């Protein structure tokens, strides 16, 4: 198209117009591509942040369950010791 206009008008001023159109068009398309990538990456980062929060919540829950289990086992050991000591006392009383 640029060559047709140059041949018709016999001037090079229109060349600058077409070159500017190409540059602005490329700039516009580049900005569109960057906007799409930015949006996609924003969603990806949000998804990753959500996954990390879920993972941390699971870890906290596991840690809490482990502590409860350890506390329960400590209480079970105390109960066993109490029952052993009461059994020993009963044996001593029988003798």
**pLDDT tens-digit map of 28-38:** 999 999 999 98
- Please tell me the predicted confidence (pLDDT) of residue 75: 64
CA dist 8 → 1, 11, 21, 46, 49 (Å): 11, 8, 19, 56, 60
Tokens at 33, concatenated: 């591509």
Distance (Å, whole) CA 74 – CA 56: 27
Give the residue extent of every domain in the chain: 2-80
Q: What is the per-residue pLDDT across 32-74, written as a single tens digit (0 to 9) for each?
A: 999 999 888 889 899 999 999 999 999 999 999 888 888 777 6
0.85 exceeded by pTM: no
């Amino acid at each position: 198209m640029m060559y047709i206009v140059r041949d018709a008008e016999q001037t090079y001023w229109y060349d600058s117009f077409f070159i500017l159109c190409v540059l602005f068009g490329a700039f516009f398309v580049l900005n569109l591509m960057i906007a799409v990538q930015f949006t996609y990456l924003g969603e990806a980062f949000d998804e990753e942040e959500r996954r990390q929060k879920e993972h941390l919540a699971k870890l906290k829950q596991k840690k809490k369950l482990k502590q409860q289990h350890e506390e329960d086992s400590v209480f079970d050991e105390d109960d066993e010791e109490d029952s052993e000591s009461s059994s020993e006392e009963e044996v001593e009383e029988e003798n």
